[in-house]
């Protein structure tokens, strides 16, 4: 008789949870009509190469740090020397930049190591594709995404190298002494 009462008690407990949730309003969002905001620290969007907003020059100096640090080895960069920059960031440019998105782990190491914040992740959803060839981002495609960031800076991910440096600064959050 004891086993039967335990079984009945367990069944009633489970049914009470079911009935309680049955009358709750739905928490789903009807996606095409209603879009939820993407969190600031969300990783999973696409990539972009940025421009200097003042001079409209590309920020990438071709240092290849992103290529060296990538654990998936999906980035290929070549260096091109050129005329001195207007923004004072040296005289080198990226001659060739290739990113194979199909093997990307979304670790953001390439973004964090970039000394000029040239490569950033976007907070927009990565576009769907019909072939694997469309997942290989050329330099032109990455700069086209960067031009979109100039128009709408809110699409840029918050995990750039300069922002991470500010977040990890030990003085951050310390109150300034009152005079």
Domains defined for the chain, CATH in brackets: 45-167 (3.30.70.3270)
In this prediction, residue 171 has a pLDDT band, given cuts at 50, 70 and 90, of low
Q: Which pLDDT belongs to residue 100?
A: 92
In this prediction, residue 27 has a pLDDT band, given cuts at 50, 70 and 90, of confident
Please, are residues 70 and 81 in contact by the beta-carbon 8 Å criterion?
no
Q: In percent, how much of the chain has pLDDT > 70?
A: 79
Give per-residue pLDDT as tens, 48-94: 898 887 887 888 888 899 999 999 999 999 988 877 777 776 778 88
Rounded Cα gap, residues 143 and 4, in angstroms: 69
Is 147's pLDDT higher than 50? yes
In this prediction, residue 177 has a pLDDT band, given cuts at 50, 70 and 90, of very low
Mean pLDDT of 85-114: 85
Is 134's pLDDT higher than 70? yes
More confident residue, 152 or 76: 76
Question: Which residues does 116 contact at the CB level (< 8 Å), separation at least 6?
Answer: 59, 60, 61, 89
Name the helix (H) or strand (E) containing 47: strand 45-49
Is 172's pLDDT higher than 70? no
Is 19's pLDDT higher than 60? yes
Most confident of 83-92, 126-135, 138-147: 138-147
Is 125's pLDDT higher than 90? no
Please, are residues 93 and 58 in contact by the beta-carbon 8 Å criterion?
yes
Rounded Cα gap, residues 164 and 113, in angstroms: 10
Q: Which pLDDT belongs to residue 167?
A: 57
More confident residue, 29 or 7: 7
């Amino acid at each position: 008789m004891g086993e039967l009462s335990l079984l009945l008690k367990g069944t009633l407990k489970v049914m009470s949870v079911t009935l309680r949730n049955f009358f709750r309003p739905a928490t789903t969002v009807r996606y095409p009509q209603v879009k939820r905001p993407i969190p600031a620290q969300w990783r999973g969007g696409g990539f972009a190469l940025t421009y200097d907003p003042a001079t409209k020059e590309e920020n990438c100096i071709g240092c290849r740090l992103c290529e060296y640090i990538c654990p998936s080895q999906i980035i290929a960069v070549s260096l091109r020397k050129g005329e001195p920059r207007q923004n004072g960031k040296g005289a080198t440019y990226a001659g060739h930049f290739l990113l194979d998105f199909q093997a990307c782990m979304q670790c953001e190491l390439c973004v964090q190591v970039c000394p000029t914040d040239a490569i950033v992740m976007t907070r927009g959803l990565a576009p769907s594709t019909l072939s694997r060839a469309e997942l290989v981002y050329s330099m032109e495609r990455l700069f086209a995404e960067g031009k979109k960031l100039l128009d709408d800076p809110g699409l840029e991910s918050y995990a750039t190298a300069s922002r991470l440096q500010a977040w990890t600064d030990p003085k951050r959050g310390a109150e300034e002494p009152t005079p």
